[in-house]
Each structure stands twice: as C-alpha cells, then as structure tokens.
Amino acid sequence: MRRHYLLAGLLLLVYVESYLWLSRRGYEQADEWHCAGFYYFTPDDTNAWRIKNYGCAFAFRPLNAIDRLLGTGRPVAAEPLWGLSK
C-alpha cells in the first residue's frame, strides 16, 4: 500500500513540476512579446504544435486555475492569427 502512495506522490510531483517548467518558460516568452497570455510551446503553424499546446492547456487546466487564483498565473493565449502580416 505504501508503494501506491509513493507512486501517486511521485506522479503528482512530476505533474506539478512539468506545469511549472512549461508555464514559466511560456511566461518569459510572453513577456518578451508583451502578451498577456502564454503558450506552453513556441507557436508554430502546424497541427503538431496545436496538439501539444492545447493538450497541455487541457491537461494543466486545474493547475493553471489554481495558479491564477493565487495571483501568480496567466491565461493560456489563443492561437496566433497566422498570415496577417502577409
């Protein structure tokens, strides 16, 4: 039974740490671009980017909500308007 608690604690730690690492990296990028929201991964006009970024937005939604309630988080940004500069 102790192994189950240890495994659950380890998985929770990995979940929280991966959120913190990805979101804070996204915050730095958002600060550089003067954006209110952030992306978990640098925007790229590909389906792979959309799956990764919005997959993280879905998976980390509870932590992002807690982060924002604490006043330390930011909302996830909407997809860039690709091709407006063309």
pLDDT, tens digit (0-9, with 9 covering 90-100), for 46-70: 999 999 999 999 999 999 999 999 9
Residue 86's pLDDT band, with cuts at 50, 70 and 90, is low
pTM over 0.75: yes
Of the chain, the end-to-end C-alpha distance in Å amounts to 60
Q: What is the pLDDT of residue 26?
A: 97
The DSSP call for residue 85 is T
Q: What is the pLDDT of residue 85?
A: 63
Evaluate whether 78 touches 40 at the Cβ level (below 8 Å).
no
CA 67 to chain centre: 11
Residue 45's pLDDT band, with cuts at 50, 70 and 90, is very high
Amino acid, single-letter form, for residue 55: G
